[in-house]
Amino acid sequence: MAVFNLTINGKKHQVDVDPTTPILWVLRDHLNLVGTKYGCGMAMCGACTIHLDGVAMRSCSLPVAQVSNQKITTIEGLSENGDHPLQKAWIEHDVPQCGYCQTGQIMSAAALLKDNPKPSDEEIDAAMHGNICRCGTYIRIKAAIKTAARSAKSGTKGGGGGVQKMTKTKIASSRRSFLKNTLFAGGGIVIGFDWLAQQNLAAAKDSLALPKEWYDFNAFLKIGDNGLVTIFTPNPEFGQNVMTSMPMIVAEELDVDWKDVRVEMAMHDPAKFPNAAFGQFTGGSRGIPSKWDALRKAGATGRQMLREAAAKAWQVPVEEITTANSVLQHSSGKKATYGEMAAAAAQIPVPKEVKLKAVKDFKIIGTSQKNVEGPKIVTGKPLFGVDYKVEGMLIAMIVHPPAFGMKLKSFNDASVKGMPGIKDVFSFKTYNDGQEKGGFDTNAFPELVAIVGNSTWEVMNAKKAIKAEWEPFATYTETVAGFGGKKAR
């Protein structure tokens, strides 16, 4: 271990780490700057791009000992408030899908524009070709770079031309390291928390202040006394954008103005979100179909309670109350915003049946709305499962056999356990002996080895050092039970 003094985003930091630790893991594990992402670990995907003295570099392949005298800029330091021309253009073009690659994309683009404020299409392609987007957002990325270039003020705090140096970094990565590092390449799981920090895109242009009082209508929505509406997304966000699409369905039936909507990821709660078939589930393109009715009814229920409250207040039949864009109205000229009627509406008994809109009347469903997570994505806020830490959390990695149909013979746990930062090494079975796989079981191997340690880099080193021996099963049969019954494979 050694002490390093680092200057990151204009601030001084001191870390005591193994000198070979890539700066990526110093940023993520030791300084909690998680906007810089891990993708390949071998300078080939660009997810980890940072600026070193204004030059774009791949942080996964730069040992901290090599960079301690340079000024480091990460996505968190690219701008004060997410207002770098590229970040604004990224939002304007709604570039991110899952968002995992986007901070690296923005850092590479910032370096390009710093050196070349008016790049041609070919120059953009050349500068960005090492940044991979598994969601395929390349066309929007290019459009956003051109928009940012046109906005003229392309100065960046940490920008700099890094195309040549990045190419050198990539060349330094060997075939051997490619193969080894592929074993721990991975993506992330998008998890949304804390709507206050979330900044719905609509809010950026027309922000409502926080309400003094919230009124709960059902598990999917609450309305503030100032008209702000929070819609809870029941299903986990895995980059498929249910954080945006599910609230759109509720908002449609509520007849709320989309700019008044904030989104929050609901906690897992089977009592609040009952669904015998799928529950709070993501997979198989079943999220929207499985929640379609519940989301619509939740919005329509809220709307009906607001209408009944207005009818009661104005002493008119509820059928005569219409709604549009967060406003209740009667032909007599009486009007009230949802915020003004929220307190009274929350007291109305929840209707058992509600009338849903006709498809021809949809105003939000079927439109394109921007990813509500966009502002968090482009500023590198914690958003993915790998970005979160809890007190005392350790890092674990799995060692698996080189082929299907193999079982663990032995591994050198004693020597690996003695490595720096390693807490435990053990094998575990993913199935009990004799157990048959179900239709959705994705475990490919019956027994695996786990390495647990303090930091990602220490566990990675232990994983490289471990010598696990695997052997074929004498006989190997696997059955699949699921749709269509059991069958031998």
Kindly list the residues in this chain that would bind ligand FES in the complex (CB under 6 A): 38-41, 43-48, 58, 60, 96-102, 133-135, 137, 239
Q: How far is the CB of 93 from ligand FES (least distance, A)?
A: 12
The rounded distance, in Å, linking the Cα atoms of 328 and 342 is 11
Judged by CB, which is closer to ligand FES: 96, or 446?
Answer: 96
The rounded distance, in Å, linking the Cα atoms of 69 and 431 is 50
Instruction: Give just the sign of the alpha carbon dihedral 37, 38, 42, 46.
Output: negative
Judged by CB, which is closer to ligand FES: 133, or 408?
Answer: 133
User: CB-based burial of residue 128 (10 Å sphere; 0-12 exposed, 13-18 middle, 19+ buried)?
Assistant: buried
Helix ranges restricted to H, 173-268: 175-182, 195-198, 201-205, 242-254
Q: How far is the CB of 199 from ligand FES (least distance, A)?
A: 18
Q: Is residue 259 within 8 Å of 375, Cβ to Cβ?
A: no
Judged by CB, which is closer to ligand FES: 97, or 455?
Answer: 97
Q: How far is the CB of 97 from ligand FES (least distance, A)?
A: 4
Q: Is residue 169 within 8 Å of 43, Cβ to Cβ?
A: yes
How many Cβ atoms are within 10 Å of 212's Cβ, its own excluded? 8
The rounded distance, in Å, linking the Cα atoms of 27 and 138 is 27
Q: Which residues is 160 bridged to in the sheet?
A: none
Give the type of residue at 418.
G
Q: How far is CA 272 from the centre of its chain?
A: 24
- Residue found under tokens 């900044």: 199
Judged by CB, which is closer to ligand FES: 58, or 262?
Answer: 58
Judged by CB, which is closer to ligand FES: 133, or 243?
Answer: 133
Judged by CB, which is closer to ligand FES: 135, or 450?
Answer: 135
Q: How far is the CB of 169 from ligand FES (least distance, A)?
A: 8
Judged by CB, which is closer to ligand FES: 99, or 224?
Answer: 99
Judged by CB, which is closer to ligand FES: 73, or 304?
Answer: 73
Q: How far is the CB of 387 from ligand FES (least distance, A)?
A: 15
Q: How far is the CB of 60 from ligand FES (least distance, A)?
A: 3
Phi, psi angle pair for 97, to nearest 5°: -100, -95
Q: How far is the CB of 42 from ligand FES (least distance, A)?
A: 6
Q: 62 vs 1, 20, 396, CA distance in Å?
A: 16, 8, 23
Q: How far is the CB of 137 from ligand FES (least distance, A)?
A: 5
